[in-house]
Amino acid sequence: MQKTPNQELLVAAIKDGTVIDHIPSSRIFDVVNLLGLQGLASAVVVGCNLESGQMGKKSIIKVADKFFTPDEVDRLSVVAPGATLSIIRNYDVVEKHQVRLPETLRGIIRCDNPVCISNNEPMPTRFHVKDNATVRCHYCEHEQRLEKVEIV
């Protein structure tokens, strides 16, 4: 596939850090927010609406000197379930894997049932992932579509 000059620039190597690829372009700023990237001191490159054979358009984020924790990867999986994480060390990809939704989400998303105990007591929320599109609250059994959930 031909790359435009802009895309060449965006895929330029970082020495150490993490590349999050195949993010749906509509969720790119949700990913920035939920990973707290705007608060980082290291270099962050955000590329939106890049051509992708598989997805039509995709977005990519590169973060220098940052390696995400399992909890942060779980958060990422909620808004970008098909994203790919590449760990870069000394310009080499040392690890690459697709983000997957865990079976249980704890303290990541809010229950949209106003009378749910998790909205009325100081406690972390807990959801069971039914399939890649629906989650069920552990406490009130209310179901929500993943694409509509609100991040805690």
Q: Which parts of this chain interact with Zn ion (CB under 5 A)? A: 111, 113, 116, 137, 139-140, 142
Nearer to Zn ion, 64 or 140 (CB): 140
**Residue whose C-alpha is closest to residue 33's, from 66, 61, 1, 69:** 61
Kindly report the backbone phi and psi dihedral angles of residue 11, in degrees, each rounded to the nearest multiple of 5, phi listed first.
Answer: -90, 10
Alpha helix (H) residue ranges in 18-69: 28-34
Q: Which residue has the tokens 């939106």?
A: 48
Shortest gap between Cβ of 137 and Zn ion (angstroms)?
A: 3
Nearer to Zn ion, 23 or 137 (CB): 137
Shortest gap between Cβ of 113 and Zn ion (angstroms)?
A: 5
Shortest gap between Cβ of 111 and Zn ion (angstroms)?
A: 3
Nearer to Zn ion, 100 or 126 (CB): 126
Nearer to Zn ion, 77 or 125 (CB): 125
Shortest gap between Cβ of 124 and Zn ion (angstroms)?
A: 12
Contacts of 135 (CB under 8 A, 6+ apart): 105, 109, 127, 128, 129, 143, 144, 146, 149
Shortest gap between Cβ of 63 and Zn ion (angstroms)?
A: 33
Q: Distance of CA 26 to CAs 30, 32, 45, 115, 151, Å?
A: 8, 12, 17, 30, 16
Nearer to Zn ion, 60 or 116 (CB): 116
